[in-house]
Amino acid sequence: DAGVIQSPRHEVTEMGQEVTLRCKPISGHDYLFWYRQTMMRGLELLIYFNNNVPIDDSGMPEDRFSAKMPNASFSTLKIQPSEPRDSAVYFCASSLAGATNTGELFFGEGSRLTVL
């Protein structure tokens, strides 16, 4: 079975440019999470969705960040305009709700973003 798929794996861009990160969750999972990982702050939850609806976006750092989930198999995280302090590894994770929910998050391999 395919796991969580993220693209691109690596992105290098210049300050001020728009960045779009993509995620395909595991088929059948109804929760999707975006995390950011930096040396200084560790893993931070940015936003999560349930059945394509944003539930909690309190971790989104500022208005330059936006996330969408147009359908159950696709989500994007967009940064516009990007700044050097946005450099980090961005992880997408999905999980399955219901009676058998074990709470386990399944992570993608991450998108490493470098903003020059």
Question: Can residue 50 be called a binding residue for another protein (CB under 8 A)?
Answer: yes
Is residue 81 reached through a cis peptide bond, with omega within 30 degrees of 0 on the bond before it? yes
According to CB under 8 A, which one of 7, 30, 76, 87 is a site residue for another protein?
30
Token pair listed for 36: 């950011």
Residue 6's φ and ψ, nearest 5 degrees, are -120, 150
79, β-bridge pairs: 19, 65
According to CB under 8 A, which one of 24, 46, 48, 82 is a site residue for another protein?
48
According to CB under 8 A, which one of 8, 56, 84, 116 is a site residue for another protein?
56
Smallest distance, Å, CB 57 to another protein?
Answer: 12
Q: Residue 5: in which H helix or E strand, if any?
A: strand 5-7
Please report, for the chain, how many H helices and E strands are present, in that order.
Answer: 0, 11
According to CB under 8 A, which one of 68, 74, 78, 107 is a site residue for another protein?
107
Which residues of the shown chain bind another protein in the complex (CB under 8 A)?
Answer: 4, 30-31, 33, 42-43, 45, 48, 50, 55-56, 91, 93, 95, 97-98, 101-105, 107-110
